[in-house]
Structure 1
Amino acid sequence: MIYWSPRLQMQNTKPIQKGRFPEVNIMLKFRWETEFKETEIGEIPKDWDVRQVKELVDKRKKFPIVDGPFGTQLHMNEYVSKGIPVIRVINLTYEGKFSKENLVFITEEKFEQLKRSEVNPYDLIIAKTGATIGKLALLPPEIPKGLISSSCLKVSFDKKLANPKYYLKFFMHFIGQENIKIRAEGGSTRDTINLTPFSEIPVPYPSPEEQSRIAAVLSWFDDLIENKKRQNEILEKVAMAIFKSWFVDFEPFKDEEFVYNEELGKEIPKKWEVKKLGRFAEIIMGQSPSSKYYNKKGKGLPFIQGKGQYGRYIPETTVYCSKLLKVAKLNDVLVTVRAPVGELNLADREYVIGRGVASLRSKYWTFLFLYLLTYNERLKSYERGTTYDAITREELDTFPLLLPPQPILQRFHSLVEPLFQKIILNQKQIMVLRKIRDTLLPKLVFGKLRVVKI
């Protein structure tokens, strides 16, 4: 029997010690399965079955598997500012997360006309067409009803037979995704999966109780990750609010004498001055070593070539480089200097930086990061090039900064640095939790690792 805590990495070779989730009072018991049978979806435990999607739907509903209305039945000019939400592909992700951004709405009257395509909480919604085929999410419970667009289909599961969260995870896995894509048919312009082929997709079928245990484990990881993301959003907003109060609106300095600055086109506190970035921070332009020095074995330092290796706040790269030509240090501000120009990250350790990145080194790195974030459009306006957008060292060097006297910079840095340290710690934990969850997902969904007790 295996006891497991997310603080510990999964191992095949020795038992994992007893533990609890760090933020919720949960004890889990797992066991490794040893008896399997071969099926059309691969190996599953002998006591599991394979069912088709259509066998697991809520047959009380007239349309348990349905797609959205034809495009001619719903036009953009029929959207209203509030009403019944229309769920579009833009609201779905390959990670199974529902996005409320860019929701559009229709009237109740229009909804009744198209009610066939109604979607309710915990219905599984999947993009069925084109390059976005396979994006998916469950309708969240805070949306009591909605309408899917013409590019989506939905499944209403029978909750007594199927846990929607378990089957969301199955269709997130590459086997679920492949089962969608191989059944897609080429239309006049793009591939589409129709309702009948989708309804016949084979899926693993553990008991509903085991489905719920599997879904609960994976959902706890999702919840922990989302909680840390929300923490970071709040911490960043607090840091930015302080920055704007001090250095944009000058609220703590209203009683000081102000003078007009022609370069900025506005009044600033008298003792403040505009300086070039190069006088405030050391600028290290990246240099890409030969690819023969790249590896995924951990030799050297992690390597960043451009935005492709950027994470939310800190880099996420699996490539290392043993040739240390240009190195970013801890707390350097990382800025992309080739298209797209001006994307920002913070160095949470040393990195080798390639030609697409510059490292900006300053004692007051929190101020510099927030300044460049606030005036990011101005930074992006420096990009130029005949074949690709880029920014040169000289252009970075002359980028103007409005700087207060050093004691104010020090006070600000002391105030917001703990916020950024917490953001970076949270982001590292998110990356670890995501890695463990993604490792667990196929093992749990296909029964290699059984959840015995929650």
Structure 2
Amino acid sequence: MSSEWASLTIGDLVREGEAAVQTGPFGSQLHSHDYVASGTPVIPTEAIGRGRILDIEVPRVDAAKASELARHRLRVGDILFARRGAQATGLSAIVDERFEGALCGTGALLLRLHSPRIDPQYLAMFLSSETAYSWLRTRAVGAVMPNLNTAIIQALPVSLPGIHEQQRIAGLIGALDDRITLLRETNATLEAIARALFKSWFVDFDPVRAKMEGRPPEGMDEATAALFPDGFETSELGEVPRGWRVGSVYDISKVVYGAPFASKLFKAAPPGRPLVRIRDLKDERPGVFTEEVHPKGYLLKPGDIAVGMDGEFRAYVWGGETAWLNQRVCVFHPINGASSAFVRLSIAPLLAAVEASETATTVIHLGKNDIDRFRVILPSSTVLHAFRAVAKPVYERLVLNKQKAQTLSTLRDTLLPRLISGQLRLPEAQAALETTP
């Protein structure tokens, strides 16, 4: 390692006046009734991802409350730590231009730099590395609800090369992050396209209404338009296009449930296959492996529609590697001409309704009895196939982009620790980046 490199702690930076660490507002300062529909964003724990603030809806407060909490306002280059929660503790994210002037949430810690010798992007990348992430997770205190505090953050060791080396490392890893972000943004657009088409055809029934009004359906050729009826009839779910019907979710999908793999056989690394638990559905990176081959085991494959059955009920398009499906996770397999997009978008509001109706005080659960009651609109087979012809390539592209993003993320996670330790030089890392499609 070059003599330019320094090993110190966050606390060393604080003592030298090069950084400050503070806890977000106390719960007594910010309550749920303070939140409003529009106003200043408040960054909660669940919005703090690995290295970046996630693109999710966040709470907001009005100008008066924001002024009251002015000391918690964020600046570009600030770094937020998820302070509490078994799933969140250890995560940190840099504040970018999207959240300039937002507020640090009650479940977060704020690190602000005051030093010209530290590049915020580099430090944020260091803090999102497996080394720092694991260090924080293993030191979180609390048996039931793990927590971080300012003392733990200040004890965290960091490796700092010279500022120019920091900037070059940040630039290289940043280029990888930009490619990953572009793929994610493209996927958000693809999902929006499929969702808009589904809503138009199967929720708003736009083609049917257009034909009733004697006008051609928008954005649709004559052959496809001819597949839709020109009137409605009454059903248990209200009016549906004439000739369509309401049926069970089992008319469009087969449901496969995960198996109870033995947790005592879980391992942090191969050999063995990865095992998908509920917590792995969001980032598609299983955290455990197992060599067990369960007699009722199911291998989750890219493109499968997976749903977690505890905590929150979301239908995910799996884009990770083939892996065993653990208990309390299920898969909806399209059948009878339905596409993955049709199944996923049909069950999404049904899952949301179950989640909204659950009144458990701890973790809410989705059961087979809930799924058995799912009722869906069943269009004619010709319309179902027409939707499939449009939606299938969209979802195939979605999965391909997820896999590309996973490859880039793996490369990032391989290069970053070696770069920040000085074990790998930038020209070698650049060469590895250029050979990745």
Superposed CA offset, 1:282-310 (max 9, x none): 455555577899887576x7655x53453
* 8 Å contact from structure 1 (residues 313, 346) kept in 2: no
In 2, distance between residues paired with 1:152 and 1:433?
A: 28
Task: Please state how far the C-alpha of 1:331 moved relative to its aligned partner.
Answer: 7.9
Amino acid at match of 2:177: D
Choose from 201, 208, 213 the match for 1:253: 208
Give the one of 235, 240, 245 matched to 2:195. 240
Question: More helix by proportion, 1 or 2?
Answer: 2
- The runs of 5 or more residues in structure 1 that have no matched partner are 1-35, 37-44
**Which residues in structure 2 correspond to 1:58-73 (within 5 Å)?**
64-67=19-22, 71=26
Q: Is the 2:45–2:84 Cα contact (8 Å) retained in structure 1? A: no
Report the equivalent of 1:440: 415
Measure, in 2, the Cα distance between the counterparts of 1:96 and 1:121.
Answer: 12
Which stretch of the first structure deviates more once superposed, 374-383 or 418-427? 374-383
Kindly state the Cα deviation for residue 209 of structure 1 after the two structures are TM-superposed. Answer: 0.8
Whole-angstrom CA distance in 1 between matches of 2:111 and 2:125? 14
Tell me the CA shift for residue 162 of structure 1: 0.9
> Residues 443, 246 of structure 1: CA spacing in aligned structure 2 closer, same or farther, 3 A cutoff?
same
TM-score (norm 1): 0.69
**Unmatched 5+ stretches in structure 2:** 213-228, 431-437
Is residue 259–residue 294 contact of structure 2 (8 Å, CA) maintained in 1? no
**Hey, what's the Cα distance between the residues in 2 that align with 1:384 and 1:82?**
28
Q: 1:401 to 1:52 in 2, by over 3 A?
A: closer
Residue number among 362, 382, 402 corresponding to 1:407 in the alignment? 382
Distance 1:239 1:334, change over 3 A: closer
Superposed CA offset, 1:35-76 (max 9, x none) = x4xxxxxxxx454223454665799x9x95152586499454
In 2, Cα distance between equivalents of 1:427 and 1:127: 25
Please point out which of 229, 240, 245 is paired with 1:273.
Answer: 245
Give the whole-Å Cα distance in 2 for the aligned partners of 1:411 and 1:445: 52
Cα drift, residue 347 of structure 1? 6.3
User: Which of 173, 176, 188 is the equivalent residue of 1:218?
Assistant: 173
Counterpart residue number, 1:18: none
What code does the residue aligned with 2:158 have?
A: V
What is aligned with 2:5? 48
Q: CA deviation at 1:208?
A: 0.7
Q: Within the alignment, does 1:165 sit opposite 2:121 as a pair?
A: yes
User: What is the DSSP-based 3-state SS (H/G/I as helix, E as strand, rest coil) of the residue aligned with 1:375?
Assistant: helix
The one of 329, 338, 343 equivalent to 1:364 is: 338
Moved more, 199-208 or 226-235: 199-208
**Cα displacement (A) at 1:429:** 1.3
CA-based RMSD of the aligned residues comes to 4.7
List per-residue Cα deviations over 1:217-250 (Å, max 9, x = no partner).
Answer: 2222222222111111111111011111111111
What is the CA–CA distance in structure 1 between the aligned matches of 2:348 and 2:76, rounded to whole Å? 37
Please show how residues 67-146 of structure 1 align to structure 2 within 5 Å.
67=22, 71=26, 74-76=29-31, 85-97=41-53, 101-105=57-61, 107=63, 111=67, 117-127=72-82, 134-146=90-102
Write the distance in 2 (CA, Å) between the matches of 1:323 and 1:202.
42
Change (3 A) 1:291 1:298: same
CA distance in 1, matches of 2:231, 2:285: 38
Q: Equivalent residue for 1:27?
A: none
State the one-letter code of the partner of 1:136: S
For the residues of structure 2 that align with 1:440 and 1:216, how far apart are their CA atoms? 13
- Report deviation, 1:448: 1.2
Distance 1:419 1:210, change over 3 A: same
CA distance 1:120–1:260, shift in 2 (3 Å): same
Identity %: 22
